[in-house]
Amino acid sequence: MKEYRFILGGYTRRSNKGIHILNIGIDGLGHEKADNKGCMNSSLAGKEKLACDKLLGPRAKDQSRLLLEIEDPSYMALEANKLFVLSSRDEGGVLAYDFDKERGQLDFISEVGKLGKAPCHLYFDQKKSLLYASNYHLGRLDILSLDKVGLSLAKSIGLEGSGPVSPNQDGPRCHMAIKDPNDKYTLVVNLGGDRIDTYCIDDNRAVLVASYQTRPGMGPRHMVFGPDSKYAYLMGELDSTVEVLAYDDVKGILRHVNRVSSLPVGSESFTGNSGAAIKVSKIKNKAGKYNLYVSNRGHDSLSVYELGDEGGIRFLQNIGSGGKNPRDFALSPDEKFILVGHQDSNDIVLFERLGDGSLVKSKRLDSRLDEIVCIIPLD
Ligand SMILES: O=C1O[C@H](COP(=O)(O)O)[C@@H](O)[C@H](O)[C@H]1O
C-alpha cells in the first residue's frame, strides 16, 4: 500500500481546532470501479456510506490527526523543515515552527500577532528569510523577517485600487504574494484593484517596478508560474476566467497572452461561481505537456487544461469536486493524485490523475475541519 500525507488548515466550530495531518493509503487501483456519483455525495450516511467506502477499497490507513491545536488556522507555507502558519489568534497572527516531517512534530520558534485581521495567504522567501503575509481584509501586504531572534514585522505595503464589483472590489484586497521563478521579484495579487504589482523587496525596502492591470472585474485571486517560467497563469475569482500572461523576468513585466473560462463550454455565463485555487503540474504528462488545474466554488468543480507552447492553453476536462465550494487542492509529490478540500462541506476528495492529466475520483474522506483553506502535500 502506498501512503500519501497532506497537511490541512482551516476553520472549524468543532473541538479539534487546528492543523491536521492526513494519511491516505492507496491500495491497487487508485480510482473507482463503478459509478461514482452516489459515492461522492457527502449526504450519504449509515449503510449506504459503508457500501460506498467498501467500493472505494480499504481505508484502514486513512487517518487524520491533530498536528497543532490553534484558533482558526488558514493558509500555511512549508519550506524545508519550517512550517509557517496564519491564524486568527491574537487579532491576526503569523507563527513559525521547526517541523520534523518524519515524526510529524512541530517545535515553536516565534510569532507575530496583532496584525489587525488574519491574513489569507503566506509565502516564505527562503533566500531573504522573509515571509509575505497577504491581508485580504486590510488590503495590505505584511513583510515579516525571520532571523535568529525570531519573527518581526519588517514592513507593510498598503495596496491601491478598486474595481467594478461591489463589495469585493470597493478597495484593494491583497490575496497572494509570491516570488518569481528567478527568485528576483515579488508579485503581489490585488483582487480588489484588478492588479498584479511587481516589487523588488529586501529587509527595509520595497520598490514597485511594474504593475499589470487585468480586465475590470476579474478579481485576480491566485497565480502560478508554468514550469518553463515564461508564462504565469492567473485565476479570476470574480469573472471565472484563467488568464495567461507572458513574464519578462528581467523587468518583472507581465503581458496578456490568452484567456479561457474556468467553467466548461456552455456554462461560461454561470453567475454563481467564485474561482479559487490554481495549480500546475511539474512533470510532463504522457503527451509531453504540462497540466493546469483550477477549482470553481459554486459550480463545485475542477477544470483541467493542457498547456501548449507560446502561452497556449487547451481545455481538457471539467469534473465535479465532490463537495461544496472547493477552496484549495494539492497535487501529491509524485503528481499521481490531487486532494481537494471544501469550504462548505466536510468532503476531502482524492482524484487520481490519468496519463493525459485528466481526473477520476478515487475516494472521499471526512474532514475534521468545517472549512478547509489550505492543503500542503508532504514528501
Ligand atoms: O478566497 C477568498 O478569500 C478571502 C479571504 O479569506 P478569509 O478566509 O481570510 O476571509 C475571502 O474573504 C473571500 O471571500 C474568498 O473568496
pTM, full prediction: 0.91
CB atoms within 10 A of CB 354: 16
237 lines ligand 1 (CB under 6 A): yes
**Side chain identity at residue 317, one-letter code:** Q
**Side chain identity at residue 267, one-letter code:** S
Q: Is residue 201 part of a domain?
A: yes
Give backbone dihedrals phi and psi of 309, rounded to 5 degrees, phi first: -75, 165
Q: Is residue 185 part of a domain?
A: yes
- Find, among 262, 258, 276, the residue nearest to 324 by Cα: 276
136 lines ligand 1 (CB under 6 A): yes
74 lines ligand 1 (CB under 6 A): yes
Q: Is residue 231 part of a domain?
A: yes
User: In what side-by-side order are the strands of the sheet with 313-320?
Assistant: 274-280, 290-297, 301-307, 313-320
Please enumerate in sequence order all residues whose Cβ is within 8 A of that of 369, keeping only pairs 6 or more positions apart, or say none. 8, 9, 10, 11, 12, 20, 341, 346
Q: Which atom of ligand 1 is nearest to the CA of 297?
A: 16
The answer to whether 353 and 337 have CB atoms below 8 angstroms apart is yes
Q: Total domain count for the chain?
A: 1
Q: Which atom of ligand 1 is nearest to the CA of 136?
A: 5
Q: Which pLDDT band, with edges at 50, 70 and 90, does 378 fall under?
A: very high
115 lines ligand 1 (CB under 6 A): no
DSSP secondary structure, 8-56, as one string: EEEE-SSS--EEEEEEEEE-S--S-SS--TTTT-TT--HHHHHHHHHHT
Going by alpha carbons, the residue nearest to atom 14 of ligand 1 is 168
Q: Looking at residue 134, which CATH number applies to its domain?
A: 2.130.10.10
Q: Is residue 271 part of a domain?
A: no
CA–CA distance from 116 to each of 89, 134, 140 (Å)? Answer: 11, 12, 10
Q: Is residue 369 part of a domain?
A: no
* Residue whose CB lies within 8 A of the most ligand 1 atoms, among 87, 115, 120, for a mutation test: 120
75 lines ligand 1 (CB under 6 A): no
120 lines ligand 1 (CB under 6 A): yes
Going by alpha carbons, the residue nearest to atom 3 of ligand 1 is 120
Q: Is residue 354 part of a domain?
A: no
Q: Is residue 156 part of a domain?
A: yes
Convert the pLDDT of each residue in 12-66 to its tens digit: 888 878 999 999 988 765 554 433 333 333 344 444 444 444 434 444 478 889 9
Q: Which atom of ligand 1 is nearest to the CA of 276?
A: 1
How much is the pLDDT for 241? 98
Going by alpha carbons, the residue nearest to atom 6 of ligand 1 is 120
For residue 255, the enclosing domain spans 74-261
362's grid cell: 478515487
How much is the pLDDT for 31? 54
Whole-angstrom distance, CA of residue 101 vs CA of residue 378: 8
Q: Which atom of ligand 1 is nearest to the CA of 371?
A: 8
Going by alpha carbons, the residue nearest to atom 1 of ligand 1 is 276
ipTM over 0.90: yes
Convert the pLDDT of each residue in 206-227 to its tens digit: 999 999 999 999 999 999 999 9
260 lines ligand 1 (CB under 6 A): no
Convert the pLDDT of each residue in 274-308 to its tens digit: 999 999 999 999 999 999 999 999 999 999 999 99
Distance 235 CA to ligand 1 centre (A): 14
Q: Is residue 164 part of a domain?
A: yes
Task: Name the helix (H) or strand (E) containing 55.
Answer: helix 46-55
